Structure 1
């Protein structure tokens, strides 16, 4: 559930974040009205608490996967909730690329595709990976909440056995597994960021 959501979020958030930078005033594809619309979509997506989003997109989830219960169904709201979150992180990481580097690429005759792929994304890799690490950890938390509505995963286990059946050992075991999982994700992310960083 978290793995598929992460993959979809990485792709969707990266594309949306790139568009936010490119369509901004003075960007490579300057289009302020489009930028304002994209910004509004991202802000609305980020402002909704996940548990509300989970319920609000039930009709869409049913239309996409044919059900609203289970791990597959939980992937839809997880992805919808995480894409705007990661898109803002991507936007921030890309804006931190020194303007001089982009100007130099333009002066050397680089195409827009080359500037995006070989300048912006390459220079922003540490920030993009750090942001994706944060997003994956957020997705772990979201997936636990998805258990409340039968989304499966550790959250479902904790609710069904730990809470409803008062099996404290199951609840503790679930919490420990989640903590270990988050620590592993953060450690892996930190290692990748250090390897990609120029500093």
Structure 2
């Protein structure tokens, strides 16, 4: 039986439009366990043993998060800092995650074109993700797929469009389901 772990790094799913819609659309995926970091750790006090065990038990890991200033939100950064420890994720005995399959599931409020040299976000998104995914790479995890959707801004005051975000969220979830099916054994 396959085991799929989704780590949700949104800092406040109650205020989310896109990320909560994606999670809701995934509720019928069998053998999916979702770790909502904002619910589990509102004070950022991560249960390292529980999170490490969830990772060890998983066959496929999905990192789901909104892009905040070209990286993941602070709660997910704290999670990586606390969980990806020496001799667990890296170091002489740090092979507990080696070879684990990873899918990145990322929502971006900005347009895809804004991630280019000289544009608002200055660099290609891949350049930011190289740094953000350093913990997974150091742990020798295998990033097998990326589901990235742009224009996921539902905040009307910032030029967002809730209707568009609804449509994009459902499409994102369908792409994620397809990626899960492709990479689960």
Normalized per residue, the structure richer in strand is 2
Q: Which has the larger radius of gyration?
A: 1
Confirm or deny a common fold (TM above 0.5): no
Higher helix content, 1 or 2: 1
